[in-house]
Amino acid sequence: MKTLLYTLFIVACCALVNCGPKATANRNSNMEGWHFHVCSNETKATRIWFELSGKTKKEKYQSRELKWTSGKGTFVTVPEDMRYIDGLNLSIRTSGKRKAKVCVLYGDYVVDSLDVSGTENQKLSKENRDDCPC
């Protein structure tokens, strides 16, 4: 009985230590800078388009479009040339105006958690902190 209680105590402590705004489970090893986590259990959309724009450290304006499709991995990596932009302009569009839950991360930290149905526009700062439900 003591062994069972001890095991449950250890599992509970591990769960408490790992809760918070960091998102590290099931992620690729190269998730530095901006990236997105699609909460597949809360997402009804089959496709999500991410339109990114902003200025690089060299003051050069960049723009990219990324696409996520259901059945693929849940992490979406931002291209290297836009990964470290200070202020990221983000437009997310879902297929058929269906609901999507997307967590925006910068490094290990959740910057924003977005519920999207149709189109959502955000200006993001890597300094913000939020929680991700997935």
**pLDDT, greater one: 99 or 134:** 99
The per-residue pLDDT for range 107-123, each reduced to its tens digit, is 999 999 999 999 999 99
- pLDDT over 70 (residue 27): no
Vertex 129, ends 90 and 133: CA angle to 5°?
85
> What count of residues does the chain have?
134
Identify the CA nearest to 62 among candidates 84, 94, 47, 77.
Answer: 84
The pLDDT value given to residue 106: 94
The per-residue pLDDT for range 29-71, each reduced to its tens digit, is 457 899 999 999 999 999 999 999 998 777 778 889 999 999 8
Distances (CA, A) of 88 to 1, 53, 112: 53, 6, 12
Half-sphere exposure for 78 (CA within 13 Å, toward CB): 27
| Eight-class DSSP state of 8 | H
Number of H helices, E strands in the chain: 1, 8
Assigned token pair, 126: 């890597």
Task: Map tokens 């526009």 to a residue.
Answer: 121
Q: How many CB atoms lie within 10 A of CB 53?
A: 17
Q: Would the pTM of this model clear 0.75, i.e. be above it?
A: no
